Structure 1
Amino acid sequence: MTDTNGGSWTHDWAHLDSIVLHYVEAGDPDDPLVVLLHGFPEFWYAWRNQIDSLAAAGFHVVAPDLRGYNRSEKPPGVDSYRLKRLVDDVVELVDHFEAERANVVGHDWGGVIAWEFGHRRPDRLDRLVVLNAPHPEALERELRSPTQLARSWYALFFQLPRVPEAILKRTDGWLGELLRTAPANSAAFDESAIERYEHAIARPGALTAAIDYYRAFGRSQLRRWFGLTDSSGRHPTIEAETLVIWGEQDSALGTELLDGLDRWVPDARIERLPDASHWVQNDAPEPVTDLLEEFLA
């Protein structure tokens, strides 16, 4: 089908082992697979400025709605959104397209999943790209800092049961206000895009599912800190070629999170965009697209 944004994007559903995911697809299925993973509180449309260009550059582009978001299935319960399940979704999506390996690109929560995919499934990864999402080891280190802890206040607030949903549902237009004011580029989200974002997060169960990502992560951290899991929390080295794109005006994630990245990702290249915010691929769509095309080629 032809999307209203002007690109020729095919919408479909992948019936995976444990979840049904909606996705948008572009490009030749015989070309190298690129999986684009969005963040909170977005959906596949976060990549509207990159999909067509990547397809034209010779990639088979797949942008799913992550589990719980927009048109994808929304299983109940916090444990449905544990990182292992989210990574398994990506592995099964790659299987769905009968690809041995994929280039995985993730922003925000999609970036967290991308990092974890790189650690857990290097056998299925070609190249890795992460946009404004902290490496888990760096995040744990910086959360000891009062500055980063204060920046992450919302993640702590989201640990509360039911309260965040109740407040946000009563705060009419909260998402539109966020998308109008948080990006560095005032044109990052036009009114049509904002309307689509608001419609997606208003689908039954979508807001709770999105917040459950934070709850699941918080619970896993507590289990580890209190010795209730066998995992030490240490991550194996990611050997794949990795590109990190970082909007330096991110109000929630400090650039200190980039320090020492080569300890865990020795083949990492960092591209800093000083005039972009957390919403980096929307603030600076052309530079981000150019970096993706050049790196993945």
Structure 2
Amino acid sequence: MRSPRSRSRPECRNGRSTRWCTVRTERRISTVERDGLVFDVLDEGPLDGEPIVLLHGWPDRPTTWREVTPILNAAGYRTLAKDRRGFAPGARPRRRRDYRLPELAADVATLIDEVGGSAHVVGHDWGAATAWAVAGLHPDHVRTLTAVSVAHPAVFMESMLRSNQLLKSWYMALFNLPVLPELLVRTLPEWFDRQLVKGGMRPEDVARFRHEIIEEGALASSLGCYRAVLLTDPRVTRFRVSAPTTMVWSTDDVALGRWGAEHSEEWVDGPFELVVLDGVSHWIPTEDPEALADAILARVAR
């Protein structure tokens, strides 16, 4: 059941336009609905704080932000960690085309509408790809963008030809095969879990993946974002971003190369900063939440 629509009123400061006003919301948001799909939301921090929308990747859920949100909340920001399409129990459509990038971005824009029409947007992994799309396709909804690990979609595609990204992305081809990935995860759990650990995921987070995705029945639907890649018109990804942007990348990321991180600036018209975390794996939100929170706060404070 959808939570009651929050009543909110803009509080403008320093003569800023209504679009950039802080929004005071009287009620927490636990779910948001779009086109019959219901997404769960973890709404934390001061209700009158500027909203920061947090988008997780694969194979994560909103709990991946559990060590980041307390830092953002303590700094006075309201955080809304949204369960993504394919993961949320009420948002698991069957068709591959329902997971195309514009659909993922529109889901987020709907949540932002619930908190006043604009927010700071942060995404990791597939959440970062989605965050880029929100900033490019719904620019009025995004105050600032912090993309973690994944480059601008157009740059990511170009990096396949300009760097070693194609080799790093071998698993994307695997995930596009029907049935086989699900069988591997279920019938060879030790092998699959070992791949995650080799990539830097902590054992406790592997256990969380087993519980939050496999046991809760989200494995096949969560792969929808990968299986819709070939159905997405490449021209859709060639959007420019006007929001002030920070790109966070880590040197021990086994899935994403540096080339994409360094060239994302070419698609950003606003201020851009690249933050490189040395010795950190792909799983930045859980491995180095303090450094990530610092990067987010530095961006939104500007």
One-letter identity of the residue aligned with 1:53: I
Whether the 8 Å contact between 1:91 and 1:124 is mirrored in structure 2 is yes
Q: Which sits farther off after the overlay, 103-112 or 159-168?
A: 159-168
Whether the 8 Å contact between 1:65 and 1:72 is mirrored in structure 2 is no
For residue 56 of structure 1, report the CA deviation from its aligned partner.
Answer: 1.4
1:101 matches 2:101: no
For residue 145 of structure 1, report the CA deviation from its aligned partner.
Answer: 4.3
Whether the 8 Å contact between 2:54 and 2:82 is mirrored in structure 1 is yes
1:286 matches 2:294: no
One-letter identity of the residue aligned with 1:119: G
Gaps of 5+ in 1: 1-9, 225-231
One-letter identity of the residue aligned with 2:245: T
One-letter identity of the residue aligned with 1:248: T
1:136 matches 2:153: yes
Q: What is residue 68 of structure 2 aligned with on the other side?
A: 50
In structure 2, relative to structure 1, the CA distance for the partners of 1:14 and 1:256 (3 Å cut) is: same
For residue 199 of structure 1, report the CA deviation from its aligned partner.
Answer: 0.7
Out of 73, 81, 86, which is 2:91 matched to?
73
Residues 31-42 of structure 1 mapped to structure 2, 5 A cutoff: 31-42=49-60
1:277 matches 2:277: no
TM (normalized to structure 2)? Answer: 0.84
Out of 20, 25, 35, which is 2:43 matched to?
25
Please give the alpha-carbon distance, in whole angstroms, between the structure 2 residues aligned to 1:34 and 1:233: 25
Please give the alpha-carbon distance, in whole angstroms, between the structure 2 residues aligned to 1:209 and 1:92: 21
Task: Name the SS of the counterpart of 2:71 in structure 1.
Answer: helix
Q: What is residue 112 of structure 1 aligned with on the other side?
A: 129
Q: % of aligned pairs identical?
A: 30
Query: 1:47-95 CA deviation, whole Å, 9 max, x = no partner?
Result: 1111111111111100011111154521212112111111111011112
Q: Which sits farther off after the overlay, 123-132 or 172-181?
A: 172-181
Q: What is residue 262 of structure 1 aligned with on the other side?
A: 265
In structure 2, relative to structure 1, the CA distance for the partners of 1:72 and 1:290 (3 Å cut) is: farther
One-letter identity of the residue aligned with 1:159: N
Whether the 8 Å contact between 1:17 and 1:92 is mirrored in structure 2 is no
Q: What is residue 83 of structure 1 aligned with on the other side?
A: 101
For residue 177 of structure 1, report the CA deviation from its aligned partner.
Answer: 3.1
Out of 114, 130, 144, which is 1:127 matched to?
144
Please give the alpha-carbon distance, in whole angstroms, between the structure 1 residues aligned to 2:37 and 2:48: 25
Query: 1:163-218 CA deviation, whole Å, 9 max, x = no partner?
Result: 211222212245643443321xxxx6353x44332111114541111211111012
Equivalent pairs counted in the alignment come to: 273
Q: What is residue 245 of structure 2 aligned with on the other side?
A: 242
- Bigger proportion of residues as strand: 2
TM (normalized to structure 1)? Answer: 0.85
For residue 32 of structure 1, report the CA deviation from its aligned partner.
Answer: 0.8
One-letter identity of the residue aligned with 1:220: T
RMSD: 2.1
Q: What is residue 171 of structure 1 aligned with on the other side?
A: 188
Whether the 8 Å contact between 2:163 and 2:259 is mirrored in structure 1 is no
Q: What is residue 217 of structure 1 aligned with on the other side?
A: 229
Q: Which sits farther off after the overlay, 52-61 or 111-120?
A: 52-61
Query: 1:207-251 CA deviation, whole Å, 9 max, x = no partner?
Result: 111211111012225xx5xxxxxxx35623211110111111111
In structure 2, relative to structure 1, the CA distance for the partners of 1:72 and 1:248 (3 Å cut) is: farther
One-letter identity of the residue aligned with 1:110: G
Whether the 8 Å contact between 1:151 and 1:252 is mirrored in structure 2 is yes
Task: Name the SS of the counterpart of 1:119 in structure 2.
Answer: helix
Residues 148-167 of structure 1 mapped to structure 2, 5 A cutoff: 148-167=165-184
Whether the 8 Å contact between 2:151 and 2:264 is mirrored in structure 1 is no
Q: What is residue 4 of structure 1 aligned with on the other side?
A: none
One-letter identity of the residue aligned with 2:184: I
Query: 1:225-280 CA deviation, whole Å, 9 max, x = no partner?
Result: xxxxxxx3562321111011111111111101123333211321000011111112
In structure 2, relative to structure 1, the CA distance for the partners of 1:246 and 1:146 (3 Å cut) is: closer
Query: 1:23-47 CA deviation, whole Å, 9 max, x = no partner?
Result: 2111122211100000001000111
Q: What is residue 189 of structure 1 aligned with on the other side?
A: 202
One-letter identity of the residue aligned with 2:77: F
Gaps of 5+ in 2: 1-27
Please give the alpha-carbon distance, in whole angstroms, between the structure 1 residues aligned to 2:137 and 2:49: 24
